[in-house]
Structure 1
């Protein structure tokens, strides 16, 4: 409402009128305007966020939904707020499935770029003895801490603001990073310094076209590729120190 919407619409109309010059059929090419109450869009998405079984054990459930627990279920109650990570995105679900494969009560886990805290919470629910999560975004740190409290894992999960490698001085058995391919390629240079012997690095947020680039970066920095998972347009790569 604070923007000059009418001026913006005229700009849009002018741009649309140029599209036929590119050989595109724009049909009627009309532009319409309507008002949407803030409360509507702020809550409308909640209708589509339902309890979801992400892996063999982990179930992600919004706080406003009921879910009847099945035998073996580990339930994460999650309100993502303004941070990424509801558990339904392919990259998040692949990471959770791999955490199920590698995390037990003997493992320390680092979560790089924790978003809503979902992966850190999943690791804690799977029994990890210690979890450290970090994010450069202060909102993500706040949301992660809140979600840890909701799920009663604050005693096991430490959430820190900043680059995780700058705020930890120990090593992990498992490091998980659900970010983007280009950042993972950069992380590959330093991850090994923070992994124990035989440590596992689970990385995701990688579009299919960049799988080879990420694998190459990992191998150049002392990792062997254990598994490449694909789901939709995304992939997750599990690697171990050679």
Structure 2
């Protein structure tokens, strides 16, 4: 099958808005090439080895998405360009806004990014290790074997890393967790490895569901984690002790009322994937739905919120 890789050079400010446009066009996720993030990891020493040079221009963010090449692709490209141009009317600076498109095969998409993914220690204990690389684990390390394939989520982006660190603080043995927008399954696996008794992961994209199941088996947590294809919390039953959603602000705002229903009294909600400028929008909806905000963390212009349902 052929895919269209649509890429835009934009600004940090416009990143989430562009991601939302891609989502509306049917993309199940986006790839964000953030030079600030690359430099952060390049200088942190978190990678055992890295031959990626420091980025000098940190103002240009590249956002990519993949859509199937079919009879609708030309119309979607025109719609994408039009919606991006419309952002200026909402006082959003899109930067240069250069858009490119190229056709790729499944196998190209699935493997071309692997040279940039190395083992990295994300939190106090959690280490994300690509399945094709070696890593000598420390005494307290919890190693997550990961092959994202064509799903989204390697654990190295600020949004996922903040989620993982909050999960290290919040997960207790025996907890029940819902993971909304599971992607590669990384957060569900982290929950299981930290002691959660039951984890239910949901993703709208069938490819992500397949990849998540493969990674769950790689990490031998299939008795703890189940994955289903679905739209946010639609069809999810029962109550959770903790719900995590690493998506984007608008989708988080949409799912908060359902989180309120599915979260047990006093339960925790971790929301990430929020650009800093949208924090007040998210917290306003949290307060309106009777949540208290316990903690807000920020990295590289991205924000994660830990909220609790009022008893």
Q: Please classify the TM superposition score into its range, dividing by the shorter chain length.
A: 0.7 to 0.9
- The match for 1:221 among 257, 279, 289 is 289
In structure 1, distance between residues paired with 2:232 and 2:276: 26
Deviation at 1:163, TM superposition (A): 2.6
Report the equivalent of 1:108.
Answer: 176
2:287 partner SS:
helix
- The match for 1:180 among 248, 253, 268 is 248
In structure 1, distance between residues paired with 2:174 and 2:107: 45
Report the equivalent of 2:119.
Answer: 51
> Are 1:209 and 2:277 matched, yes or no?
yes
Residue by residue, what CA displacement relative to the aligned partner does 1:60-91 show, whole Å, maximum 9, x if unpaired? Answer: 00011000010111110001111110000110
Shift in alpha-carbon separation, 1:228–1:47, aligned structure 2, 3 A: same
Is this contact kept in 2: 1:107–1:173, CA < 8 A? yes
Report the equivalent of 2:214.
Answer: 146
Report the equivalent of 1:239.
Answer: 307
Q: Report runs of 4+ in structure 1 exceeding 4 Å deviation.
A: 36-42
In structure 2, distance between residues paired with 1:144 and 1:137: 11
Shift in alpha-carbon separation, 1:39–1:217, aligned structure 2, 3 A: closer
Q: Mapping of 1:38-187 within 5 angstroms?
A: 43-187=111-255
Deviation at 1:106, TM superposition (A): 2.2
Shift in alpha-carbon separation, 1:199–1:69, aligned structure 2, 3 A: same
Residue by residue, what CA displacement relative to the aligned partner does 1:79-132 show, whole Å, maximum 9, x if unpaired? Answer: 111111000011000001111111121211100010000000000000101000
Deviation at 1:188, TM superposition (A): 1.3
1:119 partner SS:
helix
Shift in alpha-carbon separation, 1:37–1:132, aligned structure 2, 3 A: closer
Deviation at 1:38, TM superposition (A): 9.3
5+ residue gaps, structure 2, are: 5-103
In structure 2, distance between residues paired with 1:227 and 1:2: 40
Aligned length: 210
2:177 partner SS:
strand
1:239 partner SS:
strand
Deviation at 1:165, TM superposition (A): 2.3
**Structure with greater Cα Rg:** 1
Deviation at 1:192, TM superposition (A): 1.0
Per the normalisation by structure 2, the TM-score is 0.64
Deviation at 1:37, TM superposition (A): 11
Is this contact kept in 1: 2:3–2:106, CA < 8 A? no
Report the equivalent of 2:79.
Answer: none
Deviation at 1:55, TM superposition (A): 0.7
